[in-house]
Structure 1
Amino acid sequence: MVASNLLVLTGATGFLGFKTLDVALKAGYNVRLVVRSASKGDKVLAAPSIKKLDASSAKLSYVVVPDIAAPGAFDDAVKGAAYVIHCASPIPSFGDKAPNPELYDQYFVQTARKASIGLLESIHKTDTVKRVIFTSSIAANIPLRYFVGHGDDKIFDADNRIPLDPGPYGVEFQAYGASKAASLNSSEAWMKENSPEFDLISILPGWIFGRDELCTTPADFETGSTNSVLLSLLKGSQSAEPLMGNVSFVDDVARIQVDALSPSIKGNQAFVVTSDGIDGARWEDAIETVRKHFPEALSDGRLKSNGKQPTVVVRVDARKTEKTFGIRLTSFDDQVKSLSHDLIGIFTTWHHVPFLV
């Protein structure tokens, strides 16, 4: 480990950010969280897995930044840091109240762009940061038409780039994709223009599934992360709208983000993180996984086998990622097993709460 191993992490109150925190602490980093309120920071510090690590205040702390898009928002947060992982970004509502469509540009695109560039500018004022990791998405480098079934057989990898969709944005996912493209394109342009002493690595996952420790009640699973989309299928939702089958395990993405801090990984590049080969997974295979591994949950109604979710194939090549980091990305089957086991455990604990009906 380098002499200074202070890692600044944004977004730790979210699904992927929290898992990234867990991996970083276990890897020996001292972590300073950037949170929007003290209550959010306290919630993370109180999580069972974090308390189990018995991290001292010197090992784990947080600073409050109410508005990540404000000028100079990160100036104090990044002082003395050696590394930064930026997970915080506007995400679709996933069952929560969505913003007014008229605000999509401001809520998604402008916030993501201002936060990304503002963070880079704050880091540039220091002389300690060696590397920055940005959590991006394959929505940042693949045209929207592919995700809605109007693409072709082109194979995308981490080096593909697309222009920013200027809008207007009719749906959340369109605005979300534009926000990720805005962040990816503008951050890479900023790096080229400013030639800072630090370097930048972008991680581009697909749908992210897996255990979410911050979900502690059945209702928590219904909102707030991509898990809710998969769980909707497993509780019998009937969707006619196809979704891309490019999936990622939260543990894999978190591990890659932390491992990417190593100087053995060349900087100023990007990595896609999608499982099950170039063609990805089929959503309805999740039902077969549950039939095989959790038949009792189907028989008693905790999970259902009548869900419908067509898949659109978007071809993504993640072989560079597997080779660089020396891993085999977790299969969709294992992702479903992990999430279903977690869900069934929560449901059993809260057996008196109506759920999945």
Structure 2
Amino acid sequence: MPTPRQDIFYLHLLRCIAAIAVIAIHVLGPFRFLYGEIPFDAWFSAVGINALSRWAVPIFMMISGALLLSSNKPFDARHYLKRRLGKVVIPFVAWSLIYAGISGALANDPQITVQAIVDAPANPTWYHLWFFYDFIPLYFVIPLLAPLLKAMNEEQIKILLAGWLTLTCMHFLKVPSFLREPLVLFIGYLVLGWYLFNRDNRSQLPLWLGLGISAAVINLLGSYWASDHKGAYSALFMGYKSINTVVIGAMLFVLAQSYAERLGAALRRIVTSISTYSLGIYLIHPLLLIPIRSAIERDYAQFGHPAVAIPALTLLTLVVAWALTALLARLPIVRQLVP
């Protein structure tokens, strides 16, 4: 069984690529809704990148499950709430207020800030903060889930995962069920991450590659078909709680587990640094995208073809957000905003 430490390199690699994928999704956001308004190749380049990046948020959840559910330390509620939950809640509250202020400033209307704060219990003050509304409740499940998993044998775990995969299929097909709740569906990612983390999956890599690549192709072609059928952008095949996203996330987890150690020392240092600051990068990068997304909405062509522009803007945003996060992390008090 792997040692549940934060510095296992393939987990750093997964955090790094997930952070990059999230930025790409947010960079390409304005392109998605230009179906029929811009050349098809430009639109599909953006939607293609979107379709191939939807595993990002589930990967973050799988990493949390791998580490937190594998801990063998005696559970201390006070320590857990302060060190684990507090590390997420404090930045979430602070950045919710910051982005509420930004929304009012951009509209030159303080009332918008006030309304955003009033609505914050039900609606995020900025688009990327939705993640915390689904992620924070998982922290209250983990202490209860960990002892249950340790008491179950492998065959029982397989049945649990099979039930969850069935539920994700039901969710995609919109089969009525009281279990089709975000909390229940996202718990499955915790269990999947824990399960893969505590196994040697190298012999199953060809299977995961076959399934994952097939799911990615379905995402690509399905997104085109669904949008063409709808006559507008469709995210039918790109939900975070869909079976194809599960499969792609699992494939990447096993792939990183199998090959991450082959990366050179210099690249490993870069990957580890981005991973270390990934939460701060996630929180900060939408600030940098405000002028970029506005410019895309005004005239996307000024950046060149989306197939080149989106990766370039993603890389630029990543580097600046990474540098800002590293800087803020060195400042007293402020460092709590980018843990």
Tell me the TM-score normalized by structure 1: 0.27
Q: Which has the higher contact order (CA 8 A, sep 6+)?
A: 2
> Which structure is higher in strand share?
1
Tell me the TM-score normalized by structure 2: 0.28
